Chain A
Amino acid sequence: MNEPTPLHPDGRAPPSRVPRARQGAVLDDLLGEVARCDESAFSALYDKMSPAVFGLARRVVRDPARAEEVAQEVFLQVWQNATRFDSDRGAAKTWILTLAHRRAVDVVRRDQSSTDREQRYDWVSGPDHDAVAEEVGTRLEHEQVRRCLGTLTDLQREAITLAYYGGYTYMEVSTLLEANSATVKTRMRDGLIRLRDCLGVTR
């Protein structure tokens, strides 16, 4: 586990010094250098993105050893496919986390169909949150995600978190929530749209 993050005297994390847009541009540039076979850029990209990739894999697949495998596979894929990343179509961070999520979901669907995935989506007080020290900027972003998830309807929020953190298909989500599958599908879309607007995501 990490060192605890130092807090401001008032107990709140200090604001991140680097604005989100610039952090994103740094990642885009690094990935561009990775595409030109630059190993030191890959090393820097790994340092910046590995906690997000590993944490996501760990949340979705749960088993730490499997999560490690997922993280390694994802970063190797980043290395191989960096040449095909198109920054016109999205940010490097999104691209990497989309690969990571897809890989983690594939693994969890293949590994286990019968274990207790439904326990995994508790977004408000997941067992890891308090134990895991987070980096300063991320803590604030985490707060924003939590706050915005709180603005969704229960069905929107449950559908999105079960799918994203639990790796369920929308059909499985509709069974778990005893809701109509067409409704769940629609709530995933309009819930994400509301979340997008709350977070101010542009692409």
Chain B
Amino acid sequence: MTAELHTLVGAYALNALSAEEQARFEQHLATCAACHSELSELQATAARLADATWEAPPAGIKARLMDAVRRTAQDRPLRASPTHSGPGRWLPSLLAAAAVLAVVASLGAFFVERDRLGDAQQQQRAAAERLSVLEQQEDAVASVLSAPDVRIRSATLDNGGSVRVIVAPSLNSALIAMDDLPILGDRYSYQIWRVGRGDPVSGVVMPADAQHRSGTQLLDHLGKTEAIAVTVEPQGGSSQPTSDPIASIALT
């Protein structure tokens, strides 16, 4: 199936797929790091075919367009820049330093949002409320990291990213830290699943505005969850997985 999907790369670069095949291929693309370089070369090649159709547009277009541009806001960038310094107060003594650094690196987005909201706090009550939620999450994160029975499981995602699961059975909670994630664009999200005896249950969908290259999510009430799985789902997430997991990590 995967090999068959992959041969669609040429037709995809030419926009020669039906809408349904295009969606399937894009889902495959999100999990196939190797496809990206081939696709970008073939798209660049296809774009060269436009060299043969060069034609000056009617003059009126530009004035209308410049007018429209003045009235049109630009989209927010998809990728934030989660640079962060000073994780010192996060260092729990119970974890090996190397493991902690790896985890803290992926907590960057957390801190950035918290700091940003910290500035806005004086001006906006809504921001203050959100801040308190984040602070509670921060406390929960700190508790997991410093739990006496904490343990770390890690895995490589099929699309090249990596995931670490930091489990604290005594707290019935786990942190899921994902790094080097390929950006999925507007139409897909990463979704984390709790896997137990029955059907997988949605844990959390990575928020749309957090589709930068890393992200950390807290899962509590683990209960009988035996493993964590990650899939790529249409934007907003699905009630059941619609594609094969790109990683699956046993908690025990």
Q: List chain A positions with a Cβ less than 8 A from chain B.
A: 1-2, 35, 37, 39, 42-43, 46, 50-56, 58-59, 64, 68, 71-72, 75-76, 79-84, 86, 89-91, 93-94, 97-98, 100-102, 105, 123, 126, 128-129, 132, 134-135, 138, 141-142, 144-146, 160-161, 163-165, 167-171, 173, 185-193, 195-196, 199, 201-203
Contact = CB atoms under 8 A, between A and B. Distances in A.
Nearest to A197: B45
Interface stretch (B66-74, B101-109, B160-168, B243-251): B66-74
B239 interface: no
Contacts of B69: 39, 42, 76, 79
Nearest to A173: B16
A55 B55 contact: yes
B15 interface: yes
B7 A185 contact: yes
B50 interface: yes
B88 interface: no
B57 interface: yes
Contacts of B53: 52, 55-56, 58-59, 126, 128, 165
A189 B38 CA distance: 10
A79 B75 CA distance: 9
Given A56-B50, A56-B53, A80 B16 contact: no
Given A35-B77, A39-B66, A101-B46, 9 more contacts: A54-B57, A72-B65, A86-B183, A126-B52, A135-B54, A164-B46, A189-B7, A195-B45, A201-B44
Contacts of A71: 57, 61
B29 to A, nearest CB: 12
A60 to B, nearest CB: 8
A129 B7 CA distance: 33
Interface in B69-91: 69-70, 72-79
A192 B13 CA distance: 9
Q: Find the residue from A2, A39, A89, A188 having the highest chain B CB count within 10 A.
A: A188
Contact of A199 (B7, B48, B65, B70): B48
A160 B74 contact: no
What class of interface size applies to chain B in its complex with A?
Answer: 35 or more
Contacts of A123: 52
Chain B: interface secondary structure?
Answer: helix
Contacts of B18: 169, 171
B36 interface: yes
Nearest to B18: A169
Interface of B: 7-11, 13-18, 36-37, 40-58, 61-62, 64-66, 68-70, 72-79, 183
Q: Find the residue from B17, B41, B47, B53 having the highest chain A CB count within 10 A.
A: B53
A167 B56 CA distance: 21
15 contacts: A51-B55, A51-B57, A52-B54, A54-B56, A79-B72, A90-B44, A94-B44, A98-B46, A138-B54, A163-B16, A170-B11, A188-B16, A190-B10, A196-B42, A199-B45
Nearest to A2: B56
Nearest to A60: B53
A14 B54 CA distance: 18
Contact of B76 (A83, A97, A132, A146): A83
Contacts of B50: 52, 55-56, 97, 100-101
Nearest to B70: A39
Q: Find the residue from A82, A168, A169 having the highest chain B CB count within 10 A.
A: A169
Contact of A188 (B10, B62, B75, B183): B10
